[in-house]
Amino acid sequence: MTASHQPVRVVVVGYGGYGQLHADAVRAEPGAQLVAVVDSDRTARERARERLGATVPVVASLDEVADADAVVVATPDRHHLAPATAAVARGCHVLVEKPVTTDVPAAAELGRRAAAHGVHVAVGHLLRFDPRLRWLREQVASGAWGPVVHMALLRNGAVELRETYRDVSPVLQGGVHDIDVAQWLAGSPIGTVTCEVARAPDGAAAFMTMTGRTALGCVVTVHAGRTLDLPMPLDPQTWMSLATPSVTVTIDGDHPVRVVGAPAPPTPLRAATPVEMLARQLEAFVDLVRGGPGGVLADLGDGARAVAVALAAERSAARGGVPIAADRPDEHPPDP
């Protein structure tokens, strides 16, 4: 735990697009101090030095950093686990970008190590910091609307992502955000899932549609695609619907919440930008490091459950849509 009057000393590991945003968020947060940026790529280090100047050390390895309280892991998707584990071994709290790992048992081991060192591991499911979704969570949690019986979520990104993330499916790369949102709003995990995939002529996954049911009976459908033929950078096309027996809510892109069957928010809630959500997420992480509750920050268990569902969806799609249990994603391995 860090004294509340001292800034939390933060290292950012990975200085790609999101690593830059994380570093900027740390520098803007009054309760934090950016003490180093780590990246094994020389070009990325040069870019970091150009942006940050001489005030922030930029190094190739976490071993070169003397003192830190917390580490933000923003490396490429399939390389989150190693720096997170190294940070925990140093006694640092960790905020790791999603997906936390593609190895669910390894996430459990990371959790055991974090507990042994007395540190927290949080996962960057930043959509929890969209004010519209936070309001929606509050309404559902109050019980006034009754149980959530259905959710549908869509996230469609650029065609270019099919090449950028050739080894990461749409449901794991982008859809995992929506899986976390669905489980968070429903208040229970998704169990067995089925998934179908539509492929581009070159064989890359263009769209995936996953359907599952939470432990409390909510049916969830997640659509994850890469079909927007527009230049990058590009915000994804998003849409979601949530229904209880008497209330229906829709959120279309950046538009305000639309509610049928219950009062809408007293003042229209606008969508938060990624930069704004990262700032709120970091503020919650700093609170967690200092011994506070961390607000709606996703913990390691939340992140691992979202990954388990996404992996089960991948395996279902690989086998033509057969049901796969999310808590046992390796029970039916994909055909070679």
Task: Assign residue 96 the CATH number of its domain.
Answer: 3.40.50.720
What SS3 state is found at 151?
strand
Q: Can you say whether the dihedral through the CA atoms of 13, 16, 20, 21 is positive or negative?
A: negative
**φ, ψ of residue 124 in degrees (nearest 5):** -80, 60
Amino acid sitting at position 57? P
Residue 333 belongs to a domain? no
How far is Cα 40 from Cα 13, in angstroms, rounded to an integer? 9
Sort strands 93-97 and 121-124 into parallel, antiparallel or unpaired. parallel
Cα separation, 39 vs 281, in Å, equals 22
What is the number of domains present in the chain?
A: 2
Same-domain pairing of 152 and 251: yes
Are residues 239 and 189 part of one domain? yes
Q: Within a domain: residue 124?
A: no
Length of the chain: 336
Of 326, 334, 299, the residue nearest 107 (C-alpha): 299
* Residue 283 domain-assigned (yes or no): no
Q: What is the pLDDT of residue 102?
A: 84
12 and 113 in a single domain? The answer is yes
Pairwise CA distance, residues 182 & 152, whole Å: 9
Q: Which residue ranges in the chain fall short of pLDDT 70? A: 1-4, 328-336
Q: Are residues 180 and 312 in the same domain?
A: yes
For residues 193 and 318, membership in a common domain is answered with yes
Record the pTM: 0.93
Task: Give, for 186, the enclosing helix (H) or strand (E).
Answer: helix 175-186
pLDDT of residue 4: 63
Neighbours of 269 (CB within 10 A): 18
> Is the same domain home to 183 and 254?
yes
Other Cβ atoms less than 10 A from the Cβ of 201: the count is 6
Bridge-partner residues for 38, per DSSP? 13, 59
Q: Are residues 142 and 201 in the same domain?
A: yes
Question: How many whole angstroms separate alpha carbon 71 and alpha carbon 93?
Answer: 6
Domain-ending residue, one of 98, 119, 140: 119
CB distance 289 to 93 below 8 Å: yes
Domain termination residue (choose one: 119, 149, 180): 119
The answer on 141 and 114 residing in a single domain is: no
96-105: pLDDT as tens digits: 999 988 888 9
Among 119, 153, 182, identify where a domain stops. Answer: 119
CATH, residue 197: 3.30.360.10
Supply the range of the domain harboring residue 246: 131-259+306-325
Residue 268 lies in a domain: no
What is the pLDDT at residue 334? 42
Residue 162 is assigned to a structural domain of this protein? yes
Residue 166 pLDDT: 84
pLDDT at site 47: 95
Query: Can you give the pLDDT at residue 101?
Result: 86
